[in-house]
């Protein structure tokens, strides 16, 4: 028997864009509550990860927090949050929330106090450093938003570190009092019943205390699968993150989760959000005794080239890298990166559904991918996010009427981001009425996955197949499935090791050879092995 998070399909909700309950054009907690029946019943996911809803000036859309233990009024109240947890749990849905340990907003009272004087009792809650001779910043580190990570604070004569926007000063996890304060934050939400945390940029919470310069990266090429400022890639980010002290800080968080899991009988988890990195660094977050995070989001998969060989290599690499007892996971989109249907073309979306939901491990599905949504196209001068990530954060189209039923605003109001006609054409309402829609494919796959021992816990074994195809077996003693995916533009013929019949499709004739249409896939149930 596996733990809940190993069986679960996690659904990422971007709260601003999911559902607006009060007509101000911004999604909110009551909006999410109103869609729980969709999530639990219509779609059939097991857990939600709800992005940050804490009070924030929204410079980084909630990743710039001013109070870790409250709810921003644009999203609702603490009562709404409690109601969300209760209503989700009543439907068997777990709730994972963001923990943002690396930085706060510069308007957080902690930072206001830290900044007030060099001898402030909270000075060391943030990373402050003296200028180099000539007043230069303490190191050459560059930020994802462009420019230096250091901001000079005139009144106190020191620089503060901000790995992201200058209004997001980095916290100093070397301070025991800061760590204690952050563990109190974790306790606060555990006491309200949350099932886990997605830990934002976990790899960044400890930096080189000597502030050594990062080496230059002369061959810098911007990464098309990520949205970062070109400055960011001009150096190798070796000293501004990944300092080994962070594993000890992570262990403190995990110990607290274990304490709650034991005491309440409800297993609470930690998911690490770390940038793509070599597998041996990536697995280190699991802890030497699997006492770190439960898993680390697999962004290497997002960055895998979208062809059969690339995906096969990426799957095999994760399988090979995981230590004994560790559990794989797969991610294909999120709120920071171009959507999969934009990255890999709209024809990739159905195949991506089959892939994500049939591999060994926990899938995380980004809201809107179940509709095959592509990015919004917003001209640069209208970007609200400095990195243009608004384009991957478009409102969910629930119906085909005005604003996609995302909000209930008066006729002259509009949502915080536009809902284009092509989104209305892909609305939940319209796709539910079309048996061949991608949403109905997701629904069938999710329903099947729940009852399939091979998909929930079977082994993964790649199968020989034509070059444009990706084929693998998922098997337990009671069930063997072959998943046949054709990434090519022509039909392909794939053989399976024993006779079997296609599932979730009309033709159930047992055979050993299957024709898989271009950009499509099949799940084949093999007949039991004759001893």
341: three-class secondary structure by DSSP: helix
In DSSP terms, 483 is beta-bridged to: 472, 523
Distance CA 495, CA 513 (A): 4
User: Which of 8, 9, 13, 26 is in the footprint of Ca ion by CB under 5 A?
Assistant: 26
Q: How far apart are CA 503 and CA 320, in angstroms?
A: 29
Residue 18 interface partner, choices Ca ion, ligand NOJ, none, CB cut-off 5-8 Å depending on type: none
In angstroms, what is the minimal distance from the CB of 61 to ligand NOJ? Answer: 7
Position 28 contacts Ca ion (CB under 5 A) = yes
Q: Which of 125, 164, 299, 514 binds ligand NOJ (CB under 6 A)?
A: 164
Count other C-beta atoms under 10 Å from residue 361's C-beta: 19
**C-beta of 177: minimal distance to Ca ion in Å?**
36
**The length of the chain, given as a count of residues:** 531
Helix (H) or strand (E) holding 317: helix 308-321
Q: Give which of Ca ion, ligand NOJ, none residue 200 binds (C-beta under 5 to 8 Å, depending on kind).
A: ligand NOJ
Least separation, in Å, of the C-beta of 411 and Ca ion? 17
**Residue of the chain from 171, 182, 201, 496 that contacts ligand NOJ (CB under 6 A):** 201
Closest CA to 164 of 245, 85, 105, 94: 105
Tell me which H or E stretch contains 460: strand 459-462
Backbone angle region of 437, left / alpha / beta, with phi > 0 → left and psi within -120 to 50 → alpha: beta
Member of 4, 24, 310, 457 binding Ca ion (CB under 5 A): 24
Cβ nearer to ligand NOJ, comparing 50 with 483:
50
* Cα gap 154→287, rounded to integer Å: 41
d(CA 164, CA 6): 32
151 scored as a contact of Ca ion (CB under 5 A): no
**CA-CA distance, 322 to 327, in Å (whole number)?**
7
Interaction partner, residue 24 (ligand NOJ, Ca ion, none; CB < 5-8 Å by kind): Ca ion
The site that binds Ca ion (CB under 5 A) totals a number of residues, namely 5
Q: Which is nearer to Ca ion, 61 or 159 (CB)?
A: 61
336 is an interface residue for ligand NOJ by CB under 6 A: yes
Stretch that binds Ca ion, among 21-29, 111-119, 299-307, 366-374 (CB under 5 A): 21-29
Q: Are 16 and 335 in contact (CB under 8 A)?
A: no
Q: DSSP secondary structure string, 55-83?
A: S---TTTTSS-S-TTS--TTT--HHHHHH
Sign of CA dihedral 381, 384, 389, 393: negative
Nearer to Ca ion, 28 or 374 (CB): 28
Label each residue of 358-398 as H, E or C.
HCCCEEEEECCHHHCCCCCCCCHHHCCCCCCHHHHCCCCCC
Least separation in angstroms between CB 75 and Ca ion: 8
Smallest separation (angstroms) from ligand NOJ to the CB of 364: 13
Choices 14-22, 63-71, 297-305, 474-482; region in contact with Ca ion by CB under 5 A: 14-22
Q: Determine, following the binding rule CB under 5 A, whether residue 390 of this chain makes contact with Ca ion.
A: no
What gap in Å lies between CA 91 and CA 164, rounded to an integer?
Answer: 37
Task: CB nearer to Ca ion: give 18 or 299.
Answer: 18
Instruction: Choose the catalytic residue: 46, 80, 200, 226.
Output: 200
The verdict on 297 binding ligand NOJ (CB under 6 A) reads no
Q: How many CB atoms sit inside 10 A of residue 289's CB? A: 9
- Partner whose footprint covers residue 336, from Ca ion, ligand NOJ, none (CB < 5 to 8 Å by kind): ligand NOJ
Residue 201 binds which one of Ca ion, ligand NOJ, none, with CB within 5 to 8 A depending on kind?
Answer: ligand NOJ
Q: Which of 79, 191, 255, 259 is catalytic?
A: 259
Candidates 364, 518, 402, 268; CA nearest to 48 is: 364
Residue from the set 60, 72, 233, 374 that interacts with ligand NOJ by CB under 6 A: 60
Residue 327 phi/psi, 5-degree rounding, is -120, 130
Q: Write down the least CB distance from residue 191 to ligand NOJ, Å.
A: 24
Is position 200 an interface residue for ligand NOJ (rule: CB under 6 A)? Answer: yes
Residue 527, SS3?
Answer: coil
x/- map, 429-468, Ca ion, by CB under 5 A: ----------------------------------------
Torsion of CA 287, 290, 293, 295, to 10 degrees: 120
Where would I find the H helices in 403-488?
A: 421-424, 428-432, 438-451, 453-457
Element containing residue 311 per DSSP (H, E): helix 308-321
By CB under 6 A, is residue 63 in contact with ligand NOJ?
yes
Question: What's the CA gap between 442 and 351, in Å, rounded?
Answer: 11
Cβ 419 to ligand NOJ, closest distance in Å?
21
Distance CA 442, CA 484 (A): 17
Q: Is 144 assigned a catalytic role?
A: no
Q: Does 22 bind Ca ion (CB under 5 A)?
A: yes
Q: Which does 520 bind (CB under 5 to 8 A by kind): ligand NOJ, Ca ion, none?
A: none
Q: In this chain, which of 5, 6, 12, 20 binds Ca ion, going by CB under 5 A?
A: 20
Closer residue to ligand NOJ, CB minimum distance, 60 or 106: 60
Number of residues lying near ligand NOJ (CB under 6 A): 8
Q: How far apart are the first and last CA of the chain?
A: 26
419 binds, among ligand NOJ, Ca ion, none (CB under 5 to 8 A by kind): none
- Would residue 210 show up in a list of annotated catalytic residues for this protein? no
Please give the residue ranges that form the binding site for ligand NOJ (CB under 6 A).
Answer: 60, 63, 100, 164, 200-201, 335-336
> Annotated catalytic sites, by residue?
200, 259
Please give the residue ranges that form the binding site for Ca ion (CB under 5 A).
Answer: 20, 22, 24, 26, 28
């Amino acid at each position: 028997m596996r733990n809940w998070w190993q069986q679960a399909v996690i659904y990422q909700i971007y709260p601003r864009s999911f559902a607006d309950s009060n007509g101000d054009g911004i999604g909110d907690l009551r909006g999410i509550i109103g869609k729980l029946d969709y999530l639990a019943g219509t779609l059939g996911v097991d857990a939600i990860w709800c992005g940050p809803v804490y009070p924030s000036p929204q410079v980084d859309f909630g990743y710039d927090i001013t109070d870790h233990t409250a709810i921003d009024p644009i999203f609702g109240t603490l009562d709404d949050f409690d109601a969300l947890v209760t209503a989700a749990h009543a439907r068997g849905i777990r709730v994972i929330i963001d923990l943002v340990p690396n930085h706060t907003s510069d308007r957080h009272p902690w930072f206001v106090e830290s900044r007030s004087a060099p001898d402030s009792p909270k000075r060391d809650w943030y990373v402050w450093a003296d200028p180099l001779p000539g007043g230069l910043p303490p190191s050459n580190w560059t930020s994802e938003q462009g420019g230096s990570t250091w901001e000079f604070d005139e009144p106190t004569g020191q620089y503060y570190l901000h790995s992201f926007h200058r209004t997001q000063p980095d916290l100093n996890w070397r301070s025991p009092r800061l760590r204690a304060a952050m563990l109190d934050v974790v306790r606060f939400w555990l006491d309200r019943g949350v099932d886990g945390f997605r830990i934002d940029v976990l790899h960044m919470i400890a930096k080189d205390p000597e502030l050594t310069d990062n080496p230059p990266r002369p061959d810098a090429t911007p990464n098309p699968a990520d949205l970062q400022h070109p400055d960011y890639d001009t150096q190798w980010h070796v000293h501004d993150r990944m300092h080994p002290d962070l594993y000890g800080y992570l262990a403190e968080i995990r110990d607290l989760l274990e304490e709650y899991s034991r005491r309440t009988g409800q297993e609470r988890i930690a998911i690490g959000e770390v940038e793509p990195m070599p597998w041996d660094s990536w697995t280190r977050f699991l802890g030497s005794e699997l006492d770190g995070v439960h898993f680390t989001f697999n962004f290497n998969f997002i960055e895998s080239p979208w062809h059969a060989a690339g995906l096969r290599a990426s799957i095999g690499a994760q399988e090979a890298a995981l230590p004994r007892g560790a559990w794989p996971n797969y991610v294909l989109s999120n709120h920071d990166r171009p959507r999969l249907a934009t990255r890999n073309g709209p024809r990739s979306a159905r195949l991506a559904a089959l892939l994500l939901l049939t591999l060994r491990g926990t899938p995380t599905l980004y809201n809107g991918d179940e509709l095959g949504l592509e990015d919004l196209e917003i001209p640069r001068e209208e970007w609200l996010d400095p990195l243009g990530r608004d384009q991957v954060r478009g409102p969910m189209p629930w119906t085909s009427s005005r604003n996609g039923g995302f909000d209930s605003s008066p006729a002259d109001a509009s949502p915080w981001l536009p809902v284009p006609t092509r989104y209305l054409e892909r609305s939940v309402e319209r796709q539910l009425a079309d048996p061949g829609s991608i949403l109905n494919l997701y629904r069938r796959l999710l329903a099947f996955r729940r009852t399939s021992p091979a998909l929930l816990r079977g082994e993964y074994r790649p199968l020989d197949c034509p070059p444009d195809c990706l084929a693998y077996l998922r098997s337990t003693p009671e069930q063997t499935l072959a998943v046949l995916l054709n990434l090519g533009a022509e039909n392909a013929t794939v053989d399976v090791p024993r006779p079997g019949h296609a599932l979730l499709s009309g033709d159930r004739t047992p055979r050993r050879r299957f024709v898989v249409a271009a950009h499509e896939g099949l799940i084949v149930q093999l007949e039991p092995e004759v001893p």
